[in-house]
Structure 1
Amino acid sequence: MAFYAHKRVEPDGEMSRQTVYAHLIGTAQRAGQCLRSVGLENTGYLAGLLHDMGKYTEEFQQYLEAGDPGRRGSVIHTFQGCRYMMEIFHGEGATFPEIVCAELIAFAIGAHHGLFDCVDPAQRLGFSYRCEKKDISYEAAAAALLSEIPEREIRARFKKAAAEVDGIMGRLDEAYGDDRDYAFETGLLARLILSAVIEGDRHDTGAFMSGPHLRTWPEDMGPVWEGRLAYLEGKLAQFPQETPVEKARHAISERCRAFASREPGIFRLNVPTGGGKTLSSLRYALAHGRIYHKNRLIFVSPLLSILEQNARVIHEYVGDDGLILEHHSNVVQTGLSREELDERELLVQSWEAPIIITTLVQLLDTLFAGKTTAVRRFQALCGSVIVIDEVQTVPAKMLTLFNLAVQFLSEQCAATVVLCSATQPELECAAHPLREKPEEMVPRDETLWAAFHRTELIRLPDRRLEELPEWIAEQMETTESLLVVCNKKSEAAYLLEKTKSEEYGSFHLSAGMCMQNRRDVLEALRTALARREKVLCIATQVIEAGVDISFDAVVRLTAGMDSVVQAAGRCNRGGESRVPRPVYTVNCADEKLGMLRDIRRGKDATLSLMEAFQRMPEKLGGNLFSEEAIRYYYRAVYRDMAEGEQDYYIKEQGTSLFDLMADNRRYADEGCAGAEMFCLRQAFKTAGRYFSVFQEDTTDVLVPYGKGKELIAELCGERCRHDAEHRAAVLQEAAAYCVGIYPYQKKQLEEKGALHSVCDDCARALAEGFYDDTVGLVTETEKHEFWEVRE
């Protein structure tokens, strides 16, 4: 009997079929190739070879021939290969490396269409469930498999795979010993192997179903990096080196270039605002990639505003857009052909491009999220250079996950990781620290840093919110342009209302405004500044990063030092004044931050630093922006965190994501019968379901701002209801006219009849009268009680 894995209809109506054997070999080769650079080629190959063993059954063949989409997934085909690995290689007499290798491969096979828990919250054992499942035609599948792939070949491949796994487990044991971090890293190893299988399976299936779409790249990318480096350095050679700032930027770039010859590892890049960090890190990545034959370069930014700014620089100085994939929500795809759209979708799924520009959310999802589309990209991190911009924005709740993942990428995945920030977090002092302090790529040099000394930080006496408008008005008498950055939207709205004057232009920016509204305000604000008009801008932290704009003075309501430094970066940004300009920080004495825990913690740590600085300024570098001061700040932040708080605590489960992804003590305890038989006890599926980088209890609402009104009308029309492609294009354009609302806001708006669904409930739209072009989203509560609004 012939066994088929997939079928497709040809243009002439004939049916083509791919045999299971051909699919297994194609998947195995691709999975092995993905893991070659990290010494796991045989492990990946064998997992790919057995991943669809369950398709060697009559039940699956009948399902395939029936071609009923409604029955998708109704025939189990992932359990058989999982059981085969466990029965043949996990039995009595198996060595520890063989047991671990068998479990890793069995997990990859069993999870390639969806993660499963090795021990779940009900204390059920994932491997046992798959091995004991009845009516899956296991014996018939095994016999059919072995008729095409000899058992001796499988055993020989397993012996090589076990040796590969033994090597990695030895390194993990040496680094961590028998502790929880060791178990967590083992879980990441399982995810990596699974990633390669998913990539192999989807890649081979896609090639059969629709033909190869993707451009292929040489196995050795060194010559590609060499050519792009020469192009970049040719453009850099044209830069002037006359002013102190230009000379300092050149020196920083040269030091990054020289550092590229260092062995791969985890490094820090701390460059002052305006120091040319994007170009210097790109130059380093290209040079390091050429020397160490890296597979790809990955540039990560926390905010879309920063990403888009960095992307423009990277595109210009790489000089070949065909090398670059941008993976983020603001990519505009209009004008692309169907074939180009299909290719882009494939690239996004696999990150099969030499240079990736993406968000922190996408990177962390790749490492921890539960969807197989996210897991698939993990293999693309192997043998790469990963540059993470503004690393201090990694949420405090996931410091443990982040540190251990970065360590794994560096030590087990042959990746080089560059942590960029002007306020470097003390990751080596976290609860689960980086094992070694990352080396500075450009050690602080006062002779260089002096060129970027554009501001002076001044601490003001505490003031109540109602006292601030009078003080701001006084400053506007002597200041041409002033930026005030608040911690809450309600504070910004209140100050905007109380400081309006005919003597100057007033501007407002907050997350309550849709992106297009903020872009329009920024454009008007830049125009006013360029004309040297007198302006006051009241904003929230949305203006602090990735916004290239400069004011004569800045006021920052006390927050974390990372936020204070970012706000300071909007003052005298271009060195317009040779004399340092003031950046004021003021503690809002009656501020309520109960629901904003991270902001409150950062504010408390900053106040602690300022008090310490008053007592011993010389021990803190004589400057609140010094490395010593920033280190003090982060240690104060970490001290304030409860035990386990950095582990991503999950209240509903009574445990943490770290626990679920490590040894799973919450469920794989002494009362869990049989758990001791397995090395892998992680609750992968449960952990993936709970993982989210940022709070996701918001609902996106399309607002009637500018073209948003037309888009709402379009989505209510007949064409969007019946034309899926047109609807998708309109929804993509509408993203710039959306605002995220919290459950309490949603409830208020629904009670007022201010929300309605459009296009068969594919989106929500806000009614006229509930969006103000100046302050954004408004409700009756927010109009009258600015300082009582929950953020």
Structure 2
Amino acid sequence: MDWYAHTPKIPGAPWEPLREHLLRVAARAEGFASVLFPESRWAGAWARALGLLHDAGKYADAFQSLLKDGKGRVDHSTVGAVFALERYGDRSAAGWLLAYAVAGHHAGLPDGGGSGDGSLTVRLRKARIPDSVRADFLREVGPLLPAELPLPPFADPFAVALFARMIFSCLTDADALATEGYSDPETAALRGGQPDLPTLAAALRMHLAGKAAGADHSDVNRIRVEVLERCRDAAALPPGLFSLAVPTGGGKTLSSLSFALEHALRHGLRRVIYVIPYLSIIEQTAEVFRHAAFAGLPGAVLEHHSAYGPPGGFKDGDEEGVGPDRHKLASENWDSPVTVTTAVQFFESFFAARPSRCRKLRNVAGSVIVLDEAQLLPLPHLRPCLVLLEALARDYGCTVLLSTATQPALGRDQPLPFGLEGIRPIMPGDGAPALHRAMERVRVEHAGRLDDEALAGLLADDGNPQALCVLDTRGHAADLHRMLTERKVDGVRHLSAAMCAEHRSAVLAAIRADLDAKRPCRVVSTQLVEAGVDLDFPLVLRAMAGLDSIAQSAGRCNREGRLDGVGRVVVFDTERRNGLSDLNRRRDITKELMAARPWEEALRPDALSTYFHRLYGASLKKRTFDGGDPYDVARAWERLATTGRPDAFPFRAVAADFHLIDNEQVAVITPYTDEAKRWAVALRASERPGPLARKLQRFTVTIPRGQLARLMAAGIVEAIGEHGQFLLLTDCDGHYDAALGLTARDPRERTELENVV
């Protein structure tokens, strides 16, 4: 009998023989896994075994009948899991780690234990495998399976679970690519073709040389040159953990990219992954990389986040040789020399269970990971994030660079009960005070309590034609903007996450144009403007917040050092309340710290160091109230690191609970331009909505999931698509303000919707 894996899309084309598919997947997976451990190729045998086992259930007559008539459903994944345990031991880690991956290569990694039908133990117990399936598989494929699969002495069960996800990634990506190569060769041909790392490094060197030649000889530019030189020198050091602590405006973005590329070339690493906390920053950073550092090199940068649109927008044809299909394909497995992504996408993928989230993990091995604004790692998930970074550096040949203007205390000699060991600072620690003094361009002052009337008065003052006011919530920013607009103050603009990415980009461009032309420009913003957004104001007003946030806001003041004197950063107390516990805790620590020292010292390195020590210490004290780990509230690290048996890993349970942002958000399409409205109309009627939905990604606004039901009940948002998977703002003209973004007319709705960052 002949056995097949897939039927063709084109009528009359040959069916894919099952044995050939297993061999193709095994070969691909083995190649992917061979780079997981740079010093040894032993992991390749694991992945080869997975490739040979994963579709063993397709030897069943029932599955072959399914291919012929398309009727019914056959569980072909559990069969390979059973064979994995029979071949490599039902009490060994090898057998179980293979079984998790094979059983989950379509539905996702299962939990080992539990009584639900989806748990691996229940699936194995219910499995009924005909003797003919076992005989046919063992005859055709059995002799090709590796005889033994040694497991090296990983540090703890967390490291074993990470290895399970890595080989799962090798299998799922190999299976997807092999299947695509058979069923859709035209799509498969679109993959690859990006410039290599030597080409990108040479382009960046040329760009930086051009910038240096055209720069003036200010103190700020002198510091930027020093930072760049130290990054290039550090690139020669062995891979591992590094930190780059430079005051805002010191050129961290391109200097850290230079370190990453030069380090990768020196040590044979494969790619650069730039991890950024906010969407507002990622858009700017990718733009700098794509159109400045790597100008004329299409495909050099992959942006992977929820609001992504391809370079130049979606249009007919192929933009710069890289159409949206190529970007989509590269985002599936991060097969790109430089990937710019969000912290949510990066960290949640490593605790995910779905194949679509895990395919890319194998491409993280052997990479330089730049963690931009490292101080923004959320404290409730700090332990699993740091343990993951340490494991990637220790076991998977990665180099991790923590880049920040306010270096948090993340080493093991700090107040944390855990941390990263052996972090090497690129900028000498004893040089931090001198570097701060050289970059000192602002004076911080405290204005006491200011209500909105007083704030509006400061911003409307003719003596402050260009000023930035940073507030904590969308609602507060919207209310102050309305007040200024009603007073007909010149140059008023607004920025918040209530605006879609396309809207924010347009407003940021207008703000920069106003600043360059020295026109009146009064901007009211939430904290999304703080980290990495390249703006330069003579006056910045900041609602009382954590000292790290104040330092980031100060980075938008006199950024280029062009003022005759220093810029003003005015910190003020506000009567507005919010339910954001982490922001409030950081604010209270700042008030306590600065009560004992003058505000002009707020940005000094010793003040920031004390702030982070107290912040982490405050979180430690929280343990005594609820008994849980304040740095692992989802228990992601705890449940994986304390797993005593290989058959008990809770992969799916951890994936369900681990969310870097506590308030789960949903994306609402807000088509505020005429073109986007046409796309939205087409989306309603389309049988293949995926491409249209990608066009609308930059026209989405996230809201708390708890708010969605009320907005839908009010008819403000509706679910569209065959499965209701897309959320659409029903009346953009009525509920999307040209200045403020997404609003809700019902006052009860607005209170909840706008009390978020």
Whether these two folds match at TM > 0.5 is yes
Which residue of the other structure, out of 321, 324, 335, is the alignment partner of 2:316? 335
Correspondence for 2:176: 202
Identity %: 28
Shift in Å, 1:113 = 1.5
CA distance in 1, matches of 2:671, 2:107: 40
Residue 551 in 1 paired to residue 534 in 2?
no
Which residue of the other structure, out of 86, 107, 113, is the alignment partner of 1:114? 107
Contact 2:371–2:403 (Cα < 8 Å) also in 1: yes
Q: How does 1:581-596 map to 2 (within 5 A)?
A: 581-588=567-574, 590-593=575-578, 595-596=579-580
TM-score (norm. length: structure 1) = 0.84
Any gaps of 5 or more consecutive residues in structure 1? 173-181, 651-655, 665-675
> What amino acid does structure 2 have at the position aligned with 1:274?
G
Shift in Å, 1:366 = 2.1
Aligned residue for 1:427, secondary structure, equals: coil
CA distance in 2, matches of 1:309, 1:780: 32
Shift in Å, 1:291 = 1.3
CA distance in 2, matches of 1:712, 1:419: 41
Correspondence for 2:166: 192
Contact 2:494–2:524 (Cα < 8 Å) also in 1: yes
When residues 597 and 437 of structure 1 are mapped into structure 2, their CA distance, relative to the original with a 3 A threshold, is farther
CA distance in 2, matches of 1:371, 1:259: 37
Aligned residue for 2:427, secondary structure, equals: coil
Contact 1:700–1:740 (Cα < 8 Å) also in 2: yes
Shift in Å, 1:695 = 4.5
CA distance in 2, matches of 1:331, 1:541: 23
> What amino acid does structure 1 have at the position aligned with 2:606?
E
Contact 2:442–2:557 (Cα < 8 Å) also in 1: yes
Encode CA deviations 1:469-491: one digit per residue, 9 max, x unaligned. 37626x82533322211112232
Correspondence for 2:603: 625
Contact 1:391–1:420 (Cα < 8 Å) also in 2: yes
CA distance in 2, matches of 1:147, 1:704: 58
Residue 374 in 1 paired to residue 377 in 2?
no
What value does the CA root-mean-square deviation take over the aligned residues? Answer: 3.2
CA distance in 1, matches of 2:683, 2:110: 40
> What amino acid does structure 1 have at the position aligned with 2:201?
L
CA distance in 2, matches of 1:744, 1:47: 41
Correspondence for 2:274: 299
Any gaps of 5 or more consecutive residues in structure 2? none
Correspondence for 1:44: 47
Residue 276 in 1 paired to residue 240 in 2?
no
Correspondence for 1:34: 32
> What amino acid does structure 1 have at the position aligned with 2:67?
L
Which residue of the other structure, out of 334, 343, 352, is the alignment partner of 1:351? 334
CA distance in 1, matches of 2:683, 2:522: 42
Contact 1:269–1:418 (Cα < 8 Å) also in 2: yes
When residues 431 and 681 of structure 1 are mapped into structure 2, their CA distance, relative to the original with a 3 A threshold, is farther
Aligned residue for 1:385, secondary structure, equals: strand
CA distance in 2, matches of 1:226, 1:779: 51
Aligned residue for 2:243, secondary structure, equals: strand
Correspondence for 1:144: 136
Shift in Å, 1:523 = 3.8
Shift in Å, 1:380 = 0.6
Aligned residue for 1:48, secondary structure, equals: helix
Correspondence for 1:484: 469
Residue 87 in 1 paired to residue 54 in 2?
no
TM-score (norm. length: structure 2) = 0.87
> What amino acid does structure 1 have at the position aligned with 2:548?
D
Aligned residue for 1:532, secondary structure, equals: coil
Contact 1:326–1:356 (Cα < 8 Å) also in 2: yes
When residues 698 and 606 of structure 1 are mapped into structure 2, their CA distance, relative to the original with a 3 A threshold, is same
CA distance in 1, matches of 2:716, 2:684: 22
Correspondence for 1:739: 701
Correspondence for 2:224: 249
Correspondence for 2:59: 56
Correspondence for 1:22: 20
Contact 1:35–1:382 (Cα < 8 Å) also in 2: no
When residues 788 and 613 of structure 1 are mapped into structure 2, their CA distance, relative to the original with a 3 A threshold, is farther
Contact 2:220–2:561 (Cα < 8 Å) also in 1: no
Shift in Å, 1:711 = 4.1
Encode CA deviations 1:95-128: one digit per residue, 9 max, x unaligned. xxxx222222222222212234444454889443
CA distance in 2, matches of 1:711, 1:314: 27
Residue 518 in 1 paired to residue 518 in 2?
no
Shift in Å, 1:36 = 1.1
Residue 226 in 1 paired to residue 198 in 2?
yes
Q: How does 1:114-513 map to 2 (within 5 A)?
A: 114-120=107-113, 122=115, 126-137=119-130, 139-151=131-143, 153-154=144-145, 157-159=146-148, 161-162=149-150, 165-166=151-152, 168-169=153-154, 172=155, 182-211=156-185, 212-213=188-189, 224-238=196-210, 239-240=212-213, 242-315=217-290, 316-318=292-294, 320-328=297-305, 329-332=307-310, 333-336=314-317, 341-428=324-411, 429=414, 433-444=418-429, 445=431, 446-461=433-448, 463=449, 465=451, 468-469=454-455, 472=458, 476-499=461-484, 501-502=487-488, 504-513=490-499
Correspondence for 1:689: 656
Correspondence for 1:775: 740
CA distance in 2, matches of 1:284, 1:604: 37
Task: Count residues with an aligned counterpart.
Answer: 724
When residues 555 and 406 of structure 1 are mapped into structure 2, their CA distance, relative to the original with a 3 A threshold, is same
Contact 1:295–1:383 (Cα < 8 Å) also in 2: yes
Contact 2:101–2:109 (Cα < 8 Å) also in 1: no
Shift in Å, 1:374 = 0.8
CA distance in 2, matches of 1:490, 1:464: 17
Encode CA deviations 1:656-691: one digit per residue, 9 max, x unaligned. 233333335xxxxxxxxxxx7x33422111221233
Contact 2:269–2:368 (Cα < 8 Å) also in 1: yes
When residues 467 and 637 of structure 1 are mapped into structure 2, their CA distance, relative to the original with a 3 A threshold, is farther
Q: Which has the larger displacement, 755-764 or 236-245?
A: 755-764
Contact 1:350–1:377 (Cα < 8 Å) also in 2: yes
Encode CA deviations 1:270-309: one digit per residue, 9 max, x unaligned. 2222222222122211211111111212122222332222
Shift in Å, 1:503 = 6.0
When residues 123 and 514 of structure 1 are mapped into structure 2, their CA distance, relative to the original with a 3 A threshold, is closer
